[in-house]
Amino acid sequence: MRDERYLLYVWKTSGYELEECSGELPQLGSIVNVQGVSLMVSKIAASPLPNDPRPCVYLQPA
């Protein structure tokens, strides 16, 4: 797979945050480590930002 830019919609105890990433897009159901916290990819969809072509990876507690 090719490297690309994408967004992470990251669950935190204070709410959700968007983070920009680059590299291989994580697969649905995979575990992603964000700032020492393991989160599961629950959905991959279009960016929630207007006119943004990047995909968005939605994460939730694993």
Retrieve residue 49's tokens: 């930002």
Strand ranges, E, within 13-54: 15-23, 31-34, 37-46
- The dihedrals phi and psi of 44, each to the nearest 5 degrees, come to -125, 125
The predicted pLDDT at position 12 comes to: 82
In the chain, where are the structural domains located? 4-61
pLDDT of residue 2: 62
Q: What pLDDT was estimated at residue 19?
A: 94
Give the separation between CA 10 and CA 32, rounded to whole angstroms: 10
Q: Express each pLDDT in 6-58 by its tens digit.
A: 999 998 888 889 999 999 999 999 999 998 989 999 999 999 999 999 999 99
Q: DSSP code of 2?
A: -
What pLDDT, on a 0 to 100 scale, did the predictor assign at position 6?
96
* pLDDT for the residue 10: 92
